[in-house]
């Protein structure tokens, strides 16, 4: 059984079951690059402040470099009794460089050490997330530009409502994922605060230079309150919330792809490389990728709730409960990155059945609002026009027709203000092109939207 750093206080050795129960090495080992980077910066600072000698710092830094090489190459031996990655690295360092390795922990605690590692890890994860969302947004813009002439039904309540450009629909998701990228970018303000040097909770008596450590680790800010620094996990909650909202958007897109690929819609066909078959039904082509994205969304929601529940009753400052923050954070980072990446790969390969979409835009009375607007333009109050067109829709339904399939005489039976030019405005293309209000689905608007998006993306 490994010797504990706190053995001086305890009369009994730690029970093996306690060692297994409290160990976090199975999941926090992925923090090793950040732990070593932070330790090297800490050594440099200690030497600069004459707390350790330059020679001691050099030996420690060289030893840490060798340990990182062992970890990188998969040669490092883990021991559950050492609990976490921090103690593994410190113990191995003493083996490498001798007693000078015991000086590594001067002027710091595992409390501020793990807070630093988590911030550095999440800083990188957020950067990767922003890059992934850029690829996804680029794929959406390219899809929109490629299918600029495709008209489809727009829906409310999952009922056909008004015709829109498919490109306009895709660009709606571009807006969602842009907000997600903005939220991640903004979260860096709270993540990029350096906690190292606050020690266990009260600060340290050593004459350290925290600003120098922050400079070495590229942190623009240093924490103001030592108790808050070691107990703050708000930055993790904020990331989990942003990730959960991003997963909402991915799940909405997934749901539409699932619906659109059914025989009932037939709007799209998913690429074979991103679908699976059935073990019993030879004809099946299942949308497993979007289904799994939809399913994983609930998992990310659960991680957010787990983290909020973890923190809600913790007194200041650090509590061991916080060890559980890594499980939910790592899982969310991995899940979000995987979902964004696979959608970025899949979307360019989706086949759009433009004729099916176009035909669908011709049925379901999608031109009812335009007929009402036509009557309003002739001087009829909108509410009266709404009632008039509603009667026309009921008549058309009874006779198995669409509004544009009614004769002029049939339409005029509901209003004498209707003239033969009405049929020009009831065509889907005309309806789309008249919606030129800012943010509307008119082609010129969408072209401008795509151009602005490409400018933002730098493509």
Return the active site residues: 157, 278
Cα 438 to Cα 369: distance, rounded to the nearest angstrom: 19
Say if residues 170 and 101 touch (Cβ distance below 8 Å): no
Give the number of other Cβ atoms within 10 Å of residue 249's Cβ: 19
Give the number of other Cβ atoms within 10 Å of residue 255's Cβ: 15
Cα 213 to Cα 225: distance, rounded to the nearest angstrom: 17
Close Cβ partners of 191 (under 8 Å, ≥ 6 residues apart): 119, 122, 123, 126, 235, 239
10 Å CB burial of residue 261 (0-12, 13-18, 19+) is: buried
Say if residues 133 and 180 touch (Cβ distance below 8 Å): yes
């Amino acid at each position: 059984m490994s010797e504990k750093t706190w053995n001086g206080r305890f009369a009994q050795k730690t029970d093996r079951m306690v060692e297994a129960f409290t160990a976090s090495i199975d999941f926090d080992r992925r923090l090793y690059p950040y732990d070593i980077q932070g330790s090297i910066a800490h050594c440099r600072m200690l030497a600069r402040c004459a707390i350790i000698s330059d020679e001691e710092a050099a030996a420690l830094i060289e030893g840490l470099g060798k340990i990182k090489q062992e970890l990188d190459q998969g040669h490092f031996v883990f021991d559950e009794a050492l609990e976490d990655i921090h103690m593994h690295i410190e113990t191995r360092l003493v083996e490498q460089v001798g007693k000078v390795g015991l000086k590594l922990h001067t002027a710091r605690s595992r409390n501020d050490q793990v807070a630093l590692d988590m911030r550095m890890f999440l800083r990188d994860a957020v950067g990767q997330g922003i890059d992934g969302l850029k690829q996804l947004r680029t794929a959406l813009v390219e899809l929109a530009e490629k299918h600029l002439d495709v008209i489809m039904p727009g829906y409310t309540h999952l009922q056909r409502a008004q015709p829109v450009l498919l490109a306009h629909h895709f660009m709606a998701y571009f807006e969602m994922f842009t907000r997600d990228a903005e939220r991640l970018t903004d979260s860096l303000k709270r993540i990029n605060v350096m906690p190292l040097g606050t020690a266990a909770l009260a600060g340290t008596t050593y004459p350290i230079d925290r600003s120098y450590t922050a400079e070495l680790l590229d942190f623009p800010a240093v924490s103001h309150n030592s108790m808050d620094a070691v107990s703050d996990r708000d930055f993790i909650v904020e990331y989990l919330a942003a990730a959960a909202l991003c997963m909402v958007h991915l799940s909405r897109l997934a749901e539409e792809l699932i619906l659109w690929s059914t025989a009932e819609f037939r709007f799209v066909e998913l690429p074979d490389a991103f679908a699976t078959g059935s073990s019993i039904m030879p004809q099946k082509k299942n949308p497993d990728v979007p289904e799994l994205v939809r399913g994983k969304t609930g998992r990310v929601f659960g991680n957010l709730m787990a983290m909020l529940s973890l923190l809600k009753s913790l007194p200041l400052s650090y509590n061991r409960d916080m060890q559980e923050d890594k499980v939910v954070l790592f899982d969310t980072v991995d899940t979000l990155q995987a979902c964004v990446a696979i959608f970025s790969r899949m979307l360019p390969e989706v086949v759009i059945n433009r004729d099916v979409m176009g035909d669908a835009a011709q049925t379901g009375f999608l031109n009812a609002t335009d007929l009402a607007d036509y009557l309003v333009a002739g001087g009829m109050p909108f509410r009266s026009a709404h009632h008039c067109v509603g009667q026309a829709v009921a008549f058309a339904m009874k006779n198995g027709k669409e509004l544009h399939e009614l004769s002029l005489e049939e339409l005029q039976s509901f209003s004498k203000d209707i003239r033969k030019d009405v049929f020009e405005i009831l065509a889907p293309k005309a309806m789309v092109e008249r919606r030129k209000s800012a943010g509307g689905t008119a082609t010129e608007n969408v072209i401008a939207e795509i151009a602005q998006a490409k400018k933002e993306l730098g493509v």
